[in-house]
Amino acid sequence: MLIGEVIGRLWASRQAGGLAGRKLLLVRPLAVAGGAPAPTRGLVVAVDGLGAGPGERVIVAHGSRVRDITVGADVADKDVVVAIVDDLHLDAGSR
């Protein structure tokens, strides 16, 4: 799993059948830098069934088991938004 920030939405005019009608989000993973979450390089495209939007922090899980129990086995993506993060606190000892 990873924590990331939604930076946008992705639309595709042609897509695998299991993605039809699914919302795809562009998520930038976050890492801890200097005691605070900071964006990293690279992006993840994740299927969203929770209604997350730009600027929100989300938890993205990867794997066929996660996909199967959240959005269904017919979806052609294994990265799925499983939570919208309300708050994030890092303990001083965890850095």
pLDDT digits (tens, 9 = 90+) for 28-84: 998 876 666 766 778 988 989 889 999 999 999 877 776 666 666 776 667 889 999
Question: Which residue is it, tokens 């606190």?
Answer: 89
| Dist. CA 85–CA 95, nearest whole Å | 20
Q: Which CATH architecture has domain 2-87?
A: Beta Barrel (2.40)
Instruction: Sketch the domain layout of the chain as residue ranges.
Output: 2-87
* Tokens matching residue 24: 């795809």
Higher-pLDDT residue of 17 and 72 is: 17
Give dist(CA 44, CA 42) in Å, integer: 7
Grouping H, G, I as helix, E, B as strand and the rest as coil, residue 46 is strand
Question: What's the average model confidence in pLDDT over 76-94?
Answer: 79
**pTM, 2 dp:** 0.79
